[in-house]
């Protein structure tokens, strides 16, 4: 997008926000007592929906306990104010803390299970909550709790729903602003990367387990705020408000509106709240109706109403653009002085068993600093498994990998990334719903999760950090000749460019050790030549490179040494010239009835896709 258009779009957005804010401010003047009540309830649901959208749409964590967070917030407030006799605002703070704890508790299963299993577990926890409040004496049983006080606020009479609306509006505006800020900056990008591909997110340094907990924590805080506002508004709570039926209504709001978009969640929540009011006398048919619309949306518009403009835009652009993209040249890194410094990679006796399959058998090899090491071998010989063990995706059955003084085995992928290890994947794993620039930004972000306090207390710090990251991303895009594709969706790009993006993403983390899994697969001759130049430059800049490759021409000319794997074991190692003539290598590749010259020729043309 050109800068002029971007500026126009930005001013249009700004104008839209101002118009919406003015309309929201004057809305009560046009509503009767019933109307303002409906709106007040709609805002509570919108808050809940935004929280759910952050967990589900942004972070990809299925959370069917959102209505239970809502309930924890409401009930905690009710219990603290009525039974314990605390003031409203003190109780509100305590209720928010209780909900945050509930969020962390519900998030624990996400560390072990994902997708529909996580849906079932969170739904189970939500049901347990409704069950508990229906039976517990402290929660008033089936008849609920009443007598919640009106929140006192500088003498403003908040029992008046017209005035309560403004309290809700302010809380809601802050909540939306925070959600948008989150989604557009470093933490939100990591959450989205985890949603798109949690394995790749870990490999570029995003602490996936902590991010999963963060997603549930955020959802629960929004749920808690909604619960407090609801209890202060109605001043009476009962279990049926937090029922599974309402959970599904909430889910419908988020899916119909568009779970990946904050605006979508709000639109879905407001629209369905109004529809629900309109259909209050036909609630059974209404439920059926929501169900059908949700199914239709999931099938035909998975990104919801808010995602429709983007989908149409992409479809039109794809038809127009075609495959005429040509990569710009790579700008080499400055060579390191002196060359060949850094720690060596030592792999000692690594084995990996998958039930019956012995994918790796006692593999040992050492790679000197600044070396380019080739790993070759027939398909299924365990090359990718070796990378997966080194990069922490699999745990070794036995053996260790060390990088200098650091023991790699036993650490998680994101910890290894922080130690200076980066990798690419045999079958590209780019973050599909993010732009090329955002793919790089995720890897450029080396911040620790403990710096997250800034999101709450020092957003300016986050903003500055963001500017620095964008500056670095621009340089990296230029270095890899990708600046024309900055805002493109990876899937819309030709394969060769996607491979280049993945390489740039790996380099974005500033690694000392780079593992490339078949980087030339699917590239044309010219692109293979460019790849060779890039890998050399990366090595010269002081990075140790290990590469798995089937393109023998590339391996022979690029690698300092080659390790040959067959059936999970090392069968040969040496310089390209030494290895190519070893009888066991020839046998592993081609059987033993070839002459050496034939083998070298065959090996050079070998592509074995």
At a CB cut-off of 8 Å and minimum separation 6, what does 594 contact? 586, 602
Q: Encode 339-348: b = buried (16+ Cβ within 10 Å), e = exposed.
A: eeebbebbbe
Q: How far is the CB of 517 from ligand ADP (least distance, A)?
A: 7
Give the Cα separation of 254 and 248 in Å (integer): 10
Pinpoint the alpha helices (H) of 260-358. Answer: 262-278, 283-300, 304-321
Across the beta sheet with 398-403, what order do the strands follow? 357-367, 345-354, 398-403, 406-407
Give the Cα separation of 39 and 465 in Å (integer): 38
Q: State both tokens at 600.
A: 């070298």
Q: Is 2 in the site for ligand ADP (CB under 6 A)?
A: no
Number of residues in contact with ligand ADP, rule: CB under 6 A? 11
Stretch that binds ligand ADP, among 42-50, 65-73, 289-297, 372-380 (CB under 6 A): 372-380
DSSP class of 53:
H
Site string (396-435) toward Mg ion, x via CB under 5 A: ------------------------------x---------
Between 383 and 429, whose beta carbon lies closer to ligand ADP? Answer: 383
Q: How far is the CB of 599 from ligand ADP (least distance, A)?
A: 20
Q: How far is the CB of 456 from Mg ion (least distance, A)?
A: 44
Q: Which does 439 bind (CB under 5 to 8 A by kind): ligand ADP, Mg ion, none?
A: none
Note whether 226 and 494 are within 8 A (CB).
no
Site for ligand ADP in 325-364 (CB under 6 A): 354, 357, 359
Q: Which does 382 bind (CB under 5 to 8 A by kind): Mg ion, ligand ADP, none?
A: ligand ADP
Helix (H) or strand (E) holding 224: helix 208-234
Give the Cα separation of 482 and 608 in Å (integer): 29
Site for Mg ion in 290-349 (CB under 5 A): none
Shortest-Cβ-distance residue relative to Mg ion: 384
Other C-beta atoms lying within 10 Å of the C-beta of residue 283: 11
Site for ligand ADP in 375-394 (CB under 6 A): 377, 379-385
Between 138 and 357, whose beta carbon lies closer to ligand ADP? Answer: 357
Q: How far is the CB of 523 from ligand ADP (least distance, A)?
A: 18
Q: How far is the CB of 513 from Mg ion (least distance, A)?
A: 19
Q: How far is the CB of 327 from Mg ion (least distance, A)?
A: 25
Between 380 and 404, whose beta carbon lies closer to ligand ADP? Answer: 380
Helix (H) or strand (E) holding 98: helix 88-107
Write down the residue that tokens 């020092």 correspond to: 458
Q: Is 384 in the site for Mg ion (CB under 5 A)?
A: yes
Number of residues in contact with Mg ion, rule: CB under 5 A? 2
Q: Measured between alpha carbons, how far is residue 507 from residues 44, 63, 407, 535 in Å?
A: 44, 34, 22, 11
Site for ligand ADP in 430-459 (CB under 6 A): none
Helix (H) or strand (E) holding 10: helix 3-26
Q: How far is the CB of 378 from ligand ADP (least distance, A)?
A: 7
Taking the CA of residue 521 as centre, how many other CA atoms within 13 Å lie in the half-sphere pointing to its CB?
16
Q: Is 381 in the site for Mg ion (CB under 5 A)?
A: no
Q: How far is the CB of 418 from ligand ADP (least distance, A)?
A: 25
Give the Cα separation of 603 and 550 in Å (integer): 9
Between 445 and 549, whose beta carbon lies closer to ligand ADP? Answer: 549
Give the Cα separation of 419 and 435 in Å (integer): 26
Please report, as ranges, the residues that interact with Mg ion according to CB under 5 A: 384, 426
Please report, as ranges, the residues that interact with ligand ADP according to CB under 6 A: 354, 357, 359, 377, 379-385
């Amino acid at each position: 997008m050109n800068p002029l258009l971007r500026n126009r779009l930005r001013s249009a957005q700004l104008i839209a926000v101002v118009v919406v804010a003015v309309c929201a401010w004057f809305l009560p003047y046009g509503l009767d007592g019933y109307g303002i009540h409906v709106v007040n309830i709609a805002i509570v649901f919108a808050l809940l929906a935004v929280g759910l959208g952050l967990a589900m749409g942004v972070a990809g964590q299925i959370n069917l306990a959102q209505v239970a967070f809502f309930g924890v917030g409401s009930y905690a407030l009710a219990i603290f104010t009525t039974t314990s006799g605390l003031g409203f605002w003190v109780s509100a703070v305590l209720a928010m803390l209780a909900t945050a704890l509930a969020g962390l508790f519900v998030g624990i299963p996400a560390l072990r299970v994902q997708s529909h299993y996580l849906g079932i577990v969170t739904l189970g926890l939500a049901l347990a909550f409704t069950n508990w409040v229906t039976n517990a004496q402290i929660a008033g049983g089936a008849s609920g709790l009443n007598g919640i006080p009106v929140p006192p606020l500088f003498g403003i009479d908040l029992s008046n729903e017209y005035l309560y609306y403004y309290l809700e509006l302010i809380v809601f505006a802050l909540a939306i602003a925070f959600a948008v800020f989150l989604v557009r900056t470093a933490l939100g990008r990591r959450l989205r990367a985890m949603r798109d591909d949690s394995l790749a997110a870990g490999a570029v340094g995003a602490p996936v387990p902590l991010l999963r907990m963060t997603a549930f924590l955020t959802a629960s805080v929004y749920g808690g705020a909604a619960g407090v506002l609801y209890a202060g508004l109605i001043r009476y709570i009962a279990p049926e408000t937090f029922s599974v039926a309402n959970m599904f209504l909430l889910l419908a709001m988020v899916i119909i509106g568009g779970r990946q978009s904050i605006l979508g969640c709000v639109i879905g929540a407001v629209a369905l709240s109004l529809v629900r009011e309109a259909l209050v006398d036909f609630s059974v048919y209404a439920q059926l109706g929501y169900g059908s619309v949700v199914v239709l949306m999931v099938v035909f518009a998975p990104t919801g109403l808010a995602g429709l403009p983007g989908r149409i835009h992409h479809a039109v652009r794809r038809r127009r653009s075609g495959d005429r993209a040509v990569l710009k040249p790579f700008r080499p890194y400055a060579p390191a002085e002196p060359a060949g410094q850094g720690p060596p990679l030592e792999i000692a006796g690594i084995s990996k068993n998958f039930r019956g399959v012995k994918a790796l058998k006692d593999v040992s090899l050492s790679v000197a600093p600044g070396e380019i090491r080739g790993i070759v071998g027939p398909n299924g010989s365990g090359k990718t498994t070796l990378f997966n063990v080194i990069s922490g995706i699999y745990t070794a059955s036995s053996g260790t990998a060390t990088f200098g003084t650091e023991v790699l085995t036993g650490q998680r992928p994101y910890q290894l990334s922080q130690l200076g290890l980066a990798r690419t994947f045999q079958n590209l794993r780019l973050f599909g719903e993010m732009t090329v620039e955002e793919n790089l930004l995720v890897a450029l972000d080396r911040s620790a999760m403990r710096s997250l306090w800034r999101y709450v207390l020092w957003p300016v710090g986050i903003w500055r950090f963001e500017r620095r990251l964008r500056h670095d991303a621009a340089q990296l895009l230029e270095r890899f000749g990708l600046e024309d594709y900055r805002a493109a969706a990876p899937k819309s790009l030709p394969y060769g460019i996607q491979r280049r993006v993945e390489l740039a993403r790996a380099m974005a983390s500033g690694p000392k050790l780079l593992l490339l899994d078949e980087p030339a697969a699917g590239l044309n001759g010219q692109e293979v030549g460019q790849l060779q130049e890039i890998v050399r430059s990366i090595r010269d800049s002081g990075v140790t490179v290990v590469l798995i490759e089937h393109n023998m021409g590339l391996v022979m000319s690029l690698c300092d040494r080659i390790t040959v794997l067959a059936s999970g074991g090392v069968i040969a190692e040496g310089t390209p010239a030494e290895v190519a003539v070893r009888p066991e290598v020839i046998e592993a590749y081609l059987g033993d009835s070839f002459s050496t010259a034939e083998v070298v020729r065959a090996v050079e043309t070998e592509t074995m896709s």
